[in-house]
Amino acid sequence: VLQVRIHGRGGQGVVTAAELLSVAAFADGRHAQAFPSFGSERTGAPVVSFCRIDDEPIRAREPIAEPDALIVQDPTLLHQVDLFAGLDPSGSILINSSRSFEELGIGELIGRYARNRLLTVPATDLAREHLGRPLPNAALLGGFAALSDAVSIESVARAIRERFGGRVGAGNVAAAQHAFRYVQREIEALAHA
Amino acid sequence: MLEQIEGSAAVARTVARCRPEVVAAYPISPQTHIVEGLSDMVRTGELDGCEYLMVESEFAAMSACIGASATGARAYTATASQGLLYMAEALYNASGLGLPIVMTLANRAIGAPINIWNDHSDSMSQRDSGWIQLYAESNQEAADLHPQAFRLAEELSLPVMVCMDGFILTHAYEEVDLPSQEQVDDFVGPFDASQALDPADPVTIGALVGPEAFTEVKYLMHAKQMQALDAIPVIAAEFAEAFGRESGGLIRGYRTDDAETVVVALGSVLGTIAEVVDELREEGARIGALGVRCFRPYPLEEVRTALSDAERVIVIEKAFAVGAGGIVGQNTRLALSGLPVRVHDVVAGLGGRPVTKKSLRSLFDDVFADRLEADRLHFLDLKRDVVERELERMRRSPGPHAESILRDLGMVAARSH
């Protein structure tokens, strides 16, 4: 089972991101379960959502305390919430930022995890460019499809299009595809570094 | 068709395919998405021939369902928590009048302290209201229980409450095989009301009944609810035949053959329990689980038979009777009376506290090692240090526990008292 935890703030589409990830994994023929950290979260407050992806039907319903992958939608949470709690040493981290891990002040993570599993993608910038709004969730899912083999970018695009439709859907798909290519290039650059 | 869908949406769409003629509801978390879904389907015409009543309260919602059902219309509502309490008086009227209303309850805790998260204190508070209570383990089962609930309600002229864990199920996206309209039409059929108010042929229902007949009316109500113990397995078997999957029924065992220890629970926690059972089985422990799918009427004989070969039973329940103990635990003990089976009563998951595999594992290990006293109430993951500090503080100064403990845990900074 692959367990993904998504951190962000109320209003950034954190719950929607987990739902879309589960829909994409389902479209790829996997079993998936997505759920929010249940609460009365307000706009701007830290929010967590979860997604499990497996080849077997999923029965466990506990929150994900030991994720295999983290998606961080808002880098301002880095010094406010213990984002990396329970993350497996072989785990992956994808952070929404135009800056590097070193520039974000979390360079010490680099020794603890595989370097090619720690990536940033400027998802908010990409969303502004393609969607005209600073909503990073769809772009991050595109980036995640490049970082993880859990979902295909085609299924991520399909899930986004089904949820939003029209211009908003197309903009989000474009942002996701752009982020996918961006993260792919990052991984290639790290492989040649 | 198999879809990756939110639990609430799966329930709303399945309920729509049961063709309710009146839906009267008032929004309350975590049930809101269900009635929003239904109101959308009425607006777009996807749910044809249905009147959606946006009422001013839960009391009005149930009252409108009672009125609709009494005229022979198929009536549905959904609520949670304080909403169910606000309906309480009308719940007894619906059951007392024998009206086949179906309700989805998105299980949520009851305050005070105010809490919007999941446990079973809402449905358990109304367990004796005369409604049949079915508990769903997954979103597939939550959806599947609705066609069965309408069948059961209309066959027996009794209201049925389908309980599904709030947030844990209602807000979870997972795969659900949604039944088609044709399948549901074949299974549920049209509502042929056995009693219907008709201006052309006036009758009275809801008469005043004095001491001369009240006992007899109540006796018959009990007898009718007990008939559900026969009807539910028949309907579940017909469902399995028609839809090709097991859903509902009275109880369902998981790896209980040869089990020395059986864990009894209701609702979605059964999934997490099954995971732990599998882990322990791998290590050679003889453990299984028993899901109670129908809590009212209580399937006493079935529970007794399922548990009679066990040495010990661990009841995990998401509510309790303050000052008395476990509710499912007490019913389990009743089912086992006279048998040499130890029963451990454990309250877990109150007010949304996650029931984790780790905590369950540690609880079962305590039971195996005889570290958990039988016949007294235990609270899973109780923060004893917090309780001790609060009791110590109470000796110095009075004040409400809720605010004081939140301060102790650093959740709020303001002084409460």
pLDDT at B318 over 80: yes
The whole-number pLDDT of residue B269 equals: 98
B5-14, B124-133, B145-154, B201-210: segment of lowest average pLDDT: B201-210
Q: How far apart are CA B248 and CA B292, in angstroms?
A: 10
Residues B373-377, mean pLDDT to the nearest whole number: 89
- Among the partner residues A33, A62, A63, nearest to B173 by beta-carbon distance: A33
* Percentage above 70 pLDDT, chain B: 99
Residues of B in contact with A22 (CB under 8 A): 4, 173-174
Q: Residue A33: its chain B contacts at CB < 8 A?
A: 172-174
Tokens 């029209």, located at residue: A166
Please name the residues in contact with B339: beta carbons below 8 A apart, sequence gap of 6 or more: B304, B307, B308
Q: Does B361 touch chain A (CB under 8 A)?
A: no
Tens-place pLDDT, residues B41-66? 999 999 999 999 999 999 999 999 99
pLDDT at position B11:
98
How many whole angstroms separate alpha carbon A64 and alpha carbon B261?
Answer: 27
| Count of beta carbons in the 10 Å neighbourhood of residue A191 | 9
Could you identify the residue written with the tokens 């010094």? Answer: A79
pLDDT at position B205 over 60: yes
From the first residue on, what is the mean pLDDT of each consecutive set of 10 residues in chain A (193 residues)?
A: 95 95 98 85 87 98 96 92 90 95 87 90 97 96 96 98 95 98 95 85
A36 touches chain B (CB under 8 A): yes
Average pLDDT over residues B309-333: 97
Q: Which of B268, B269, B354 sits opposite A63 (nearest CB)?
A: B354
| Strand pairing class (B75-79; B102-107) | parallel
**A116 backbone dihedrals φ, ψ, rounded to 5°:** -80, 5
Give the nearest chain B residue to A37 (CA atoms). B167
What are the start-end ranges of the H helices in B77-138? 81-86, 88-96, 121-125
The predicted pLDDT at position B187 comes to 98
Q: Which of residues 57-76 of A touch B (CB under 8 A)?
A: 58-63, 65
- Compute the radius of gyration of chain B from its Cα atoms: 22
Q: Do A59 and B116 touch (CB under 8 A)?
A: no
| Full strand arrangement of the beta sheet holding B342-347 | B251-254, B287-292, B261-265, B312-317, B342-347, B377-379
Strands B75-79 and B51-54: unpaired
Touching A: B residues 27-66, CB under 8 Å:
29-30
Q: Determine the pLDDT at residue B417.
A: 45
Q: Which of B40, B43, B38 is nearest to B19 (CA)?
A: B38
> Would you say the C-alpha torsion B128, B131, B134, B140 has a positive or negative sign?
negative
Q: Report the DSSP beta bridge partners of residue B254.
A: B289
Disruptive mutation site among B2, B3, B4, B119 for chain A (greatest number of A CBs within 10 Å)? B4
Question: Lowest-confidence range among A93-107, B90-104, B293-307, B317-331?
Answer: A93-107
- Is B103:B77 a contact under the CB 8 Å cutoff? yes
Smallest CA–CA distance, residue A104 to chain B, in Å, is 28
Cα dist from A144 to A99, A106, A119, A152, A164, whole Å: 17, 20, 10, 9, 19
How many residues are recorded in chain B? 417
Q: Comparing C-alpha atoms, which of B44, B46, B51, B41 is closest to residue B20?
A: B51
**pLDDT at res. A39:** 63
What are the CA-CA distances from residue B356 to residues A63, A175, B359 (Å)? 8, 37, 5
Report how far Cα B416 is from the mean position of its chain's Cα atoms.
35
In sequence order, the β-bridge partners of residue A94 are: A71, A119
How many other CB atoms are there within 10 angstroms of residue B357's CB atom? 17
Partners of A4 in beta bridges: A51, A69
Q: Is the pLDDT reported for residue B413 higher than 60?
A: no
Residues of B in contact with A35 (CB under 8 A): 167-168, 171-173
Tokens for B236, please give them: 């579940």
The answer to whether residue A86 neighbours chain B at the CB level (below 8 Å) is: no
CB A12 within 8 A of CB A74: yes
Within 10 A of B222 (CB to CB), how many other CB atoms are there? 10
pLDDT band, residue B414 (cuts 50/70/90): low
User: B416 falls in which pLDDT band (50, 70, 90)?
Assistant: very low
C-alpha span between B123 and A12 (Å, rounded): 34
List pLDDT tens digits, range B135-164. 999 999 999 999 999 999 999 999 999 999
Please name the residue that has the structure tokens 């998936």. Answer: A32
Residue B411 pLDDT exceeds 90: no
pLDDT at B397: 85
* B396 vs B321 pLDDT, higher one: B321
- Minimal-distance CA residue of chain B relative to A50: B172
How many Cβ atoms sit within 10 Å of the Cβ of residue B46? 13
Tell me whether residues B174 and A33 touch, CB distance under 8 A. yes
B266 CB neighbours in chain A (<8 A) are: none
What pLDDT does residue B412 have? 67
- Classify residue B275 as left (phi > 0), alpha (psi -120 to 50) or beta: alpha
Residue B415 predicted with pLDDT over 70: no
Total residue count of chain A as it appears in this document: 193
Residue of B224, B226, B205, B204 whose CA lies nearest to B216: B224
d(CA B275, CA B314): 16
> Which of A22, A27, A36 minimises the CB distance to B171?
A36
